[in-house]
Amino acid sequence: MRRFLIDTDTASDDAVALVMALNHPDVEVEAITVVAGNVPLEYGVQNALYTIERCEKSVPVYAGLDKPMLRPLETAQFCHGEDGLGDIGLDLTGREPAEGHAVDALLDVTARFADEITLVTLGPLTNVATALLRDPTLASRVERCVIMGGIGYGYGNIIPAAEYNIWVDPDAAKIVFESGLPIEMVGWDISHKYATFTAEEAAELHAVSDLGAYCVDIQKALRQFGIEYLKQDGFDLPDPIAMAVALDPDVATVVKRLRVDIETKSELTRGATVVDHLRVTGREPNADAVLEASRERFLEVLYAAVRSSSP
């Protein structure tokens, strides 16, 4: 069994990524740590716990930091819904997380399973950066670190130059990208190109199982945002395609070892992942940037996860 540790700001696409990991046959999710981002921290915790229930699994969920390191929190409730799961009337209250803090859990789990952990980050990197500041050797204990964040090619989804997860806490992202973690960056450009679902494609996923229906229903607000503001054909699933890369590395079809730096100061390009494609800076590469992916293979991983709930 592969051991996963997932850090998430659980909203509608994060929930699908959790379904994929929780239902993968050779993955043990050791812990889920929650950070403020898409939704306030307490919402993200409830959404993670609810999704685990829907998968009929048992995994400890730890609450983490409730705001970025140096800035006020700016959520993405405008695209995920006020509750983060599409505002479709789910019962998202009353569940209790595990005792302890997410930062402690990140340090403890990576110490217990040194060199065995795949760390998958689905939200702002505040928890991970704080853990690295407390113990920089965390970076050497992680086997893989798959980050949904940034942009390999193209444009952003929150400002023209940046993707939301990096933009909301660029100071944390800078710490993480300079930490020595074995980073695999799956940017929003990959989701936009390979993980967008039209109404017809969403209906096909919805029909597979109750869990497939859940994964589609919670995208209600995101679908409207994708169509009206991003001018897409429907909703896209950034965290699930990043999770697919973590679960099956062959989902990533073009990967390049490149230097990625984070812009923290400019208001115009705050949170930009500055990817040195031509290696003009001469700086040492620090990330494997996923530049192309297989939609077919991504769908195989996603459909296998939701089918696992069928009789």
CA separation for the pair 38, 95 (Å, rounded): 19
Q: What is the pLDDT of residue 231?
A: 87
Helix (H) / strand (E) containing 3: strand 2-8
Q: What is the pLDDT of residue 151?
A: 98
Q: What is the pLDDT of residue 149?
A: 98
Answer yes or no: are the C-beta atoms of 38 and 9 closer than 8 Å. Answer: yes
CATH number among 2.30.40.10, 3.90.245.10, 3.40.1190.20, 3.55.40.20, domain 2-307: 3.90.245.10
User: Dihedral sign, CA of 184, 188, 189, 190?
Assistant: positive
Burial 273-291 (b: 16+ CB within 10 A, else e): bebbeeeeeeeeebbbbbb
What is the pLDDT of the chain when averaged over all its residues?
97
Q: What is the pLDDT of residue 232?
A: 87
Least reliable range by pLDDT among 40-44, 58-62, 165-169, 225-229: 225-229
Work out the pLDDT band at 119, boundaries 50, 70, 90.
very high
> How large a percentage of the chain has pLDDT more than 70?
99
What is the length of the chain?
311
Query: For 158-169, what is the mean pLDDT?
Result: 97
What are the strands, taking DSSP E only, across 11-131?
27-34, 61-63, 117-121
Query: For 264-280, what is the mean pLDDT?
Result: 96
Answer yes or no: are the C-beta atoms of 236 and 192 closer than 8 Å. Answer: yes
Using a 10 angstrom Cβ sphere, with 0-12 exposed, 13-18 middle and 19 or more buried, the burial of residue 119 is buried
Q: What is the pLDDT of residue 309?
A: 56
β-sheet with 2-8: strand ranges across: 61-63, 27-34, 2-8, 117-121, 142-148, 183-186, 287-293, 252-258
Query: For 144-152, what is the mean pLDDT?
Result: 98
Question: Does the pLDDT at position 143 exceed 50?
Answer: yes
Q: What is the pLDDT of residue 156?
A: 94
Query: For 260-288, what is the mean pLDDT?
Result: 97
Q: What is the pLDDT of residue 230?
A: 86
Helix (H) / strand (E) containing 147: strand 142-148
Question: Does the pLDDT at position 311 exceed 80?
Answer: no
Q: What is the pLDDT of residue 165?
A: 98
| 216-268: pLDDT as tens digits | 999 999 999 999 988 888 999 999 999 999 999 999 999 999 999 999 999 89
| 72-111: pLDDT as tens digits | 999 999 999 999 999 999 999 999 999 999 999 999 999 9
> Which residue is it, tokens 């933009």?
167
